[in-house]
Protein backbone atom coordinates (compact mmCIF):
# COMPACT_ATOMS: atom_id res chain seq x y z
CA UNK A 1 0.00 0.00 0.00
CA UNK A 2 2.89 2.37 0.69
CA UNK A 3 4.04 1.95 -2.89
CA UNK A 4 0.56 2.76 -4.22
CA UNK A 5 0.45 5.93 -2.12
CA UNK A 6 3.94 6.97 -3.20
CA UNK A 7 3.21 6.30 -6.88
CA UNK A 8 0.04 8.41 -6.73
CA UNK A 9 1.81 11.21 -4.84
CA UNK A 10 4.55 11.34 -7.50
CA UNK A 11 1.93 11.43 -10.23
CA UNK A 12 0.09 14.35 -8.61
CA UNK A 13 3.33 16.23 -8.00
CA UNK A 14 4.36 15.81 -11.63
CA UNK A 15 0.97 17.03 -12.83
CA UNK A 16 1.23 20.12 -10.63
CA UNK A 17 4.77 20.89 -11.78
CA UNK A 18 3.76 20.64 -15.44
CA UNK A 19 0.63 22.76 -14.90
CA UNK A 20 2.59 25.52 -13.16
CA UNK A 21 5.35 25.40 -15.80
CA UNK A 22 2.77 25.74 -18.54
CA UNK A 23 1.10 28.63 -16.73
CA UNK A 24 4.44 30.39 -16.22
CA UNK A 25 5.63 29.43 -19.71
CA UNK A 26 8.83 27.82 -18.50
CA UNK A 27 10.29 24.49 -19.63
CA UNK A 28 10.41 21.41 -17.43
CA UNK A 29 13.35 19.06 -17.32
CA UNK A 30 11.62 15.69 -16.99
CA UNK A 31 13.86 13.33 -15.07
CA UNK A 32 11.26 11.16 -13.35
CA UNK A 33 11.97 8.15 -15.58
CA UNK A 34 15.72 8.70 -15.82
CA UNK A 35 16.66 5.78 -13.59
CA UNK A 36 14.11 3.30 -14.97
CA UNK A 37 16.69 1.85 -17.35
CA UNK A 38 18.88 0.71 -14.47
CA UNK A 39 18.23 -2.57 -12.70
CA UNK A 40 19.62 -4.84 -10.02
CA UNK A 41 22.80 -3.88 -8.22
CA UNK A 42 23.44 -1.04 -10.64
CA UNK A 43 20.14 0.59 -9.65
CA UNK A 44 20.79 -0.01 -5.96
CA UNK A 45 24.13 1.81 -6.30
CA UNK A 46 22.31 4.97 -7.46
CA UNK A 47 20.41 5.44 -4.19
CA UNK A 48 21.28 5.61 -0.50
CA UNK A 49 17.67 4.76 0.42
CA UNK A 50 14.31 4.52 -1.37
CA UNK A 51 14.29 8.22 -2.28
CA UNK A 52 17.70 9.87 -1.95
CA UNK A 53 20.35 9.57 -4.62
CA UNK A 54 23.89 8.41 -3.97
CA UNK A 55 26.87 10.38 -5.26
CA UNK A 56 26.77 8.26 -8.42
CA UNK A 57 23.04 8.91 -8.83
CA UNK A 58 23.55 12.63 -8.25
CA UNK A 59 26.21 12.69 -10.95
CA UNK A 60 23.94 10.96 -13.49
CA UNK A 61 21.10 13.36 -12.67
CA UNK A 62 23.36 16.43 -12.87
CA UNK A 63 24.72 15.39 -16.28
CA UNK A 64 21.21 14.76 -17.56
CA UNK A 65 19.87 18.10 -16.31
CA UNK A 66 22.86 19.97 -17.77
CA UNK A 67 22.30 18.31 -21.17
CA UNK A 68 18.58 19.15 -21.08
CA UNK A 69 19.23 22.78 -20.13
CA UNK A 70 21.56 23.11 -23.12
CA UNK A 71 18.60 22.25 -25.36
CA UNK A 72 16.75 25.34 -24.10
CA UNK A 73 19.46 27.76 -25.16
* CA–CA dist 72, 30 (Å, integer): 13
Whole-prediction pTM: 0.77
Burial of 5 (0-12, 13-18, 19+ CB in 10 A): exposed
- Give the pLDDT score at 20: 98
Condensed to tens digits (0 to 9), the pLDDT of residues 6-29 reads 888 889 999 999 999 999 999 999
- Give the pLDDT score at 27: 92
Amino acid sequence: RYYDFWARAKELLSENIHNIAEEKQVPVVEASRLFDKYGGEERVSLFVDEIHLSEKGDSILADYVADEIEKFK
